[in-house]
A and B are shown apart, each in its own frame.
Chain A
Amino acid sequence: MLNHEPAALLLEDGTLFRGRAFGARGATAGEVVFNTAITGYQEVLTDPSYRGQIVTMTWPHIGNTGVNRVDVESERVQVAGFIVRDVVTEASNWRSEQSLDAWLREAGVVGLCDIDTRALVRRLRVSGAMRGSILTGEAAEAALQARLDAEPPMEGRDLVSEVTCGETFVWRDGIQPLDGADAPRPGVETRRYRVVAYDFGVKRNILRLLVEHGCEVVVVPAATPAAEVLGYEPDGIFLSNGPGDPAAVGYAIENVRALLGSGVPLFGICLGHQILCLALGGTTYKLRFGHRGANQPVQDLGTGKIEITSQNHGFAVRPEGLPDGANVSHINLNDGTVAGLDHRDLPVFSVQYHPEANPGPHDAGYLFRRFTDLMEAHRCARD
């Protein structure tokens, strides 16, 4: 009755799912993870933190609102593969410009749909995130296995070097209003603070929000030496999100350690948070299946307030053995893991989650204000 091109997913533990292909045709492999956000697939797909991962969306209908030029978090689709229950090929939204299927095909990203995604998610929940491979067409299990075997494990993997920018640039765009014109809106006129942002795979909305908060943002490649960063005479330094194992980016940890002594305020998000922890002398570990979604409750231990946050991480900061002076400032209420750090003596803080949202709630947006307040206080102290 209906003819569709088949496709299959093989997991490291031998579980096989057969469904059908969408997006690009071919083969792919990566760490298979799941995201529980109901909205925001376009932001997820373009988030550089997903580099090297095959993302499964738990929400069954993906593609409802198509894709547009604005809701992107980087210049390209980043995921290694995409798995959904049902791919919607005809979008309905006043901002839609293209279908998800066509967009992924152009981007060369392989998709698998029509499988029991809930069964897959339950498998990942129990056994942990693991490698997997997808082949489109009548995929033989041996071929899937071969592709899977060629994929290195996530631990110890430096994916940052794949996603960081090639050279330094200045970011100027603010948030584009939803019902506004096509062009990105320039940020507010007054730029009170100069921020150097390490690009470990930065999401654009972080940069947009820094601009909205009156920052001039100089984005530098991940391996930029500390001295060069300080050469910009920044009011603050930002450590971005990014993919892979934080322990594998030793160069970044070294640079941050050097910057800690400068006294310049420092703010880290996600991978940036983990790198800050490692630079301070703490340790990180891999979570079984991580936190990926837009509904993760976090408590600010300082105020007791709860914020619903967007998260995307497979590694976490170990609370035990944090160096003297470092404090756990936020915890994830679902499992008690560390969600934020600050410091008794240093003007630094970081969070494991994504205050820039996209996708997700805006509850944690106050952290950008906290960063500018810190820069303001630091500037006053300096002057």
Chain B
Amino acid sequence: MPRRSDIQSILIIGSGPIVIGQACEFDYSGTQACKALRREGYRVILVNSNPATIMTDPDTADRVYIEPITPDTVARILEAERPDALLPTLGGQTALNTALALADAGVLDRLGVELIGASVKAIRKAEDREAFKEAMESIGLEMPRATLCRSVADVQKAAEMFGFPLILRPSFTLGGAGGSVCYEPALLDRQARAALAASPVGEVLVDESILGWKEYELEVMRDRNDNVVIICSIENVDPMGVHTGDSITVAPAQTLTDREYQRLRDAAIACIREIGVDTGGSNVQFGVDPRTGRVVVIEMNPRVSRSSALASKATGYPIAKVAALLAVGYTLDEIPNDITRVTKASFEPSIDYVVTKIPRFTFEKFPTSEPVLGTQMKSVGEAMAIGRTFAESLQKALRSMEIDRYGLEPLIGDVETVRAKLKAPHPDRLYYIADAMRLGLTDADIEAITAWDPWFLRQIRAIVELEGAFAGLPAGTVSRADLRTMKRAGFSDRRLAALRGTDEATVRGWRHALGLRPVFKRVDTCAAEFEAHTPYLYSTYEDECEAAPTTNRKVMILGGGPNRIGQGIEFDYCCVHAAFALSEAGFETLMVNCNPETVSTDYDTSDRLYFEPLTLEDVLEIVHVEQPMGLIVQYGGQTPLKLAQDLEAAGVPILGTPPDAIDLAEDRERFQRLLADLALRQPVNGIARSVEQAVAVATQVGYPLVVRPSYVLGGRAMEVVQDEAGLLRYVREATRVGNDRPILLDHFVDRATELDVDCVSDGETVVVGGVMQHVEQAGIHSGDSACCLPPWAMPAEVVAEVERQTIALARALGVVGLMNVQFAVRLVDAPEIYVLEVNPRASRTVPFVSKAIGRPLAKLGALVMAGAKLADLGFTAPIIPPYLSVKEAVFPFTKFAGVDPLLGPEMKSTGEVMGIADDFPTAFLKSQEAASQRLPTEGCVLVTSADEDKAEFVALARRLVDLGFSLMATRGTGAALTAAGMTWAPINKEYEDGDTTVRAILDGRVQLVLCTTKSPALISQSRKMRRAALQRGIPYSTTLVGAAATAAAIERLRAGDVPVRALQDHHARLTP
């Protein structure tokens, strides 16, 4: 059947900010869907609050709404646009939940909007655990024995029935949030309470334990004619008990016979039919008892998911694109397979390589949280690797992680520690298993502790044995046969060098002298049965190379690798824009990246895709085959930037800003000289290479201090220390974190406002893209601070001066491409402007600025790197929008038990949202709503402030009282309120007896928390209060400026009628 002609316009809901459990895979799927549907002639309307996405580019959809994804806002957009249909299955749980809410509220019926892809009934049947269980029983599929609990008593009853351990899973939450495994009765009450609180409907599913069972996922597609195909099977290396997002996974399944696999296939098909997903993709998860083969269904997602993005990249089958086309009426046999061109989408991909995905964790950001994995997802990103064997793909995935490991490096040297470490699932468990093998544990021993399948253990052991054999070869060079054996098993040159006690360059020298280079094979969906027309390539050590490079003018773009806090989707956005712009300008584009969630690793994005680790070795081999005219290294964040100097030394042409400028900006001493030459100010600072030196330098610089190791992104290990005791504590930890690199000490410019500037330079002309004023005071990491473009409260002459300084810096550094500068401004009599940091590369704010000013900065940067001039590109003057754009950060605190949600110089946010409006309070309000901060319009505000803030604080409290809020305060703050003539209800501090702040928050007596705290002692005292607010989902502000902005937003919220407006309409108001 052809496409439906009874609908003309379709609204797609995105997934909002990047959070744990919902990352850029939904930008990948949403972008694919938008492109596919527009190509079919539909008018596509998009809602997503996340500015760092490709899907919110004004050319991705006909109408782009960067607005909060709340039922109210989406309803307004539906009113304004009156689309014929809503497609809710591409924006993760956020889109599904929003669509359900709109259906429940009768909005869809009232406006005559049809839900396509999945019906309300199907979504409910899959999402509601009781309904799902019933459905599975009706088709003869087992689920783990489970019971739905609505109280702690219910959970206790379940424990009596099933015994321990027990799995607790709250209904309707993201990434298994609030879920846990309970091992002993003593902990049951606490865990049950937490799980009940995490569920928005107060329901928890309590499961019998199937810990240690094999875990599989199948990606299923169905069309309106009830044709069903399986795209990919995925096997979790970590057995049941670890969230699938946190598991190492392999595609396809490795340890099932055909009959066993077909049983899962039959079950998955029965499942999608019974749930009634009309068209599109779903994901079904199974547990299989390794002893008996008993199969249970774990869950089903009636939408595209993180796993479907992985499956798409693993097979070359574009699940989201096909799902979108199926939703508008096509059938699988009508949709062509882009890769083979001759076949259709109605088939099941067969692959002739192994795909391994490894999750990326950032437990180091949350030191108070135990690095133990469970049913709640905690990873913030992932890398995928392709190899012809499991060993090769695993080792490629390991070096893709960018954690300074290049293989299975030993971590633990004694058997008792290893045994102890293996017991709880730890992010490094794979390494510990290899250590256990080196220390003499048998596969059976390890299986008994970890429940990892013996097949995987044997594969790991083979790697460990090869390491031993290679290290034991006679001294000197090695034979071609031996080196080939190692390379075929996926070993990096760097790991081989470590095994031979030499360096990477030496091994590379041997390898090249022996004529050992990788070949590149194609991902083709069909195991070579048909010719592949899409150059989607991976390296392997085999005979035949299928790269078939062209002689075109080509540019290679190095991506950012796995997402992590500090380096995420913003950099992928820049890489994708570089590919788009250069392709339009007639270059052939080559993308290198290893992050399966991204748009950059869509084979449609660049002319040629190399799905490869971003290490020197891997990049050099691609360069050898392709011989590009140049590489772009400034768009993928720190990952490619770190390679720049080595690549240049190896003779690889780097486009744009010379790598030496990176060093100049990063090297404290060189940078100081540069600033002195330009007569620019920076906070008094120094550098220290020992503890004694640090103390001495600190005295010169003066407290408070910002301390950090050099060469970091995302403020890794950065802290503000108030005194010598704090410094000493920090130095002990930092020297460990900083790998013996020196630490930097800056005087902390207190009570300053930060300004962030992005600019583009062609080497002659420098144009400022945007100046952003931070909402939070200096001292909060720029990635964690809300900011506003243009500055909403900053004297024009300060902004002009900051622009002047930016241009001077770009010229002095020889920037060709993008650059970001951070300033601290102290508005005293004569404003003091300090340069905090210069980054001669694309910054995290590039997508936000581009959307705010309506000019694609990353595209412009890529074009000037390739030789264009800004004058020719028509970008010679800054754009000052007549509206305000506010960026707000989104944090993962709820996923990490016990972590203090207080902000500081170390970045902790995973994502961002954008609010656009004509005035600051409205823009800020939108950003808060988009970040899921539900601001109250009435009720009680709990206020507690640091002593030095009290005067400003009192004024703020008055504003809230005028709005009709009542106040609750601790004694010190309360005294100040009384002095100002305000009434307040007293409450005890959390460490005191009686009625405390924590109790008041947990009881629901507080609707808003304003708490500013600075001293370390007070910080630790008020931690529980902030956790309580977090747990109850009560908005809180921890800074004065943030609190003032919140008050303004509440005023705006009470005024009502917040307008929505498409990005295209905002941009139409810009003067060119």
Contacts and interface: CB of A to CB of B under 8 A. Distances in A.
A37 B258 contact: yes
Given A60-B354, A362-B262, A179 B543 contact: no
B948 interface: no
B24 interface: no
B228 to A, nearest CB: 8
A65 B227 contact: no
Contacts of A358: 258-259
Interface string A343-370: 0000000000000011111100000000
A361 B350 contact: no
Interface in B252-293: 252-263, 265-266, 290-293
Interface string B321-351: 0000000000111000000001110111111
A1 B544 contact: no
Contact of B258 (A43, A115, A293, A299): A43
Given A1-B469, A178-B260, A179-B292, A92 B255 contact: yes
Interface string A101-140: 0000000000000011111011001000000000000000
B259 to A, nearest CB: 6
Nearest to B541: A116
A59 interface: yes
Interface string A7-22: 0000000000000000
A42 B346 CA distance: 27
Contacts of A38: 252, 261, 350-351
Among B257, B262, B470, the one with the most A-chain Cβ atoms within 10 Å of its Cβ is B257
A86 B389 contact: yes
Contacts of A335: 342
B784 interface: no
B347 A93 contact: no
Interface string B510-535: 00000000000100001111110000
A304 B225 contact: yes
Given A40-B258, A71-B257, A357-B262, A334 B292 contact: no
Contact of B389 (A60, A296, A297, A308): A60
A333 B528 contact: no
A306 B458 contact: no
Contact of A37 (B254, B294, B350): B350
Interface in A59-104: 59-61, 64-65, 68, 71, 85-86, 88, 90-95
A39 interface: yes
Interface residues of B, number: 64
Contacts of B253: 39
A329 interface: no
Interface in B858-895: none
B225 A94 contact: no
A94 B291 contact: yes
A64 B255 contact: yes
Interface in B536-551: 542-544, 546
B542 A58 contact: no
Contacts of A65: 255-257, 260
Contacts of A2: 469, 485
A68 B257 CA distance: 10
A95 B293 CA distance: 9
B454 interface: yes
A305 interface: yes
Given A1-B481, A60-B353, A359-B258, A119 B389 contact: no
Contacts of A1: 469-470, 473, 479, 481-482, 485
Nearest to A205: B259
Nearest to B522: A118
A295 interface: yes
A362 B266 contact: yes
Contacts of B294: 179
A361 B259 CA distance: 9
B984 interface: no
A360 B262 CA distance: 7
A224 interface: no
Contacts of A337: none
A38 B542 CA distance: 20
A64 B526 CA distance: 21
A85 to B, nearest CB: 6
A92 to B, nearest CB: 4
A178 B528 contact: no
Nearest to A58: B527
A125 B528 contact: yes
A59 B352 contact: yes
Interface string B595-617: 00000000000000000000000
B347 A296 contact: yes
A254 B527 CA distance: 39
Contacts of B530: 125, 334
Interface string B351-383: 111100000000000000000000000000000
Nearest to B529: A36
Given A116-B544, A358-B258, A85 B388 contact: yes
Contacts of B473: 1
A304 B331 CA distance: 10
Contacts of A95: 257, 293
A122 B544 contact: yes
A306 to B, nearest CB: 4
Contact of B542 (A71, A93, A118, A359): A118
Given A116-B544, A119-B544, A306-B227, A293 B529 contact: yes
Contacts of B469: 1-2
A122 to B, nearest CB: 5
A317 B848 CA distance: 60
B543 A119 contact: yes
B256 A94 contact: no
Contact of B259 (A58, A71, A125): A71
B455 interface: yes
B493 interface: no
A291 B729 CA distance: 68
A58 B352 contact: yes
Contacts of B346: 297, 306, 333
B425 to A, nearest CB: 20
B621 interface: no
Contacts of B542: 116, 118-119
Contacts of A37: 258, 350
Given A39-B256, A305-B227, A333-B346, A64 B455 contact: yes
B402 interface: no
Contact of A334 (B230, B261, B343): B343
B229 A179 contact: no
B543 A116 contact: yes
A92 B258 contact: no
Contact of B529 (A116, A125, A361): A125
Given A93-B257, A334-B343, A293 B333 contact: no
Contacts of B481: 1
A358 B260 CA distance: 11
Contacts of B528: 34, 58, 118, 121-122, 125
Return the 7 tightest CB-CB contacts between A and B, nearest first: A40-B258, A119-B544, A92-B455, A58-B527, A359-B258, A39-B258, A295-B348
Interface of B: 225-227, 229-230, 252-263, 265-266, 290-294, 331-333, 342-344, 346-354, 388-390, 453-455, 458, 469-470, 473, 479, 481-482, 485, 521, 526-531, 542-544, 546
24 contacts: A34-B529, A36-B350, A38-B252, A39-B253, A39-B257, A39-B261, A40-B257, A59-B252, A59-B352, A61-B254, A85-B352, A86-B388, A90-B455, A91-B455, A93-B260, A118-B527, A118-B544, A121-B527, A294-B258, A306-B346, A308-B348, A334-B342, A334-B343, A335-B342
Given A38-B252, A64-B254, A93-B257, 5 more contacts: A86-B389, A94-B291, A294-B348, A308-B348, A361-B265
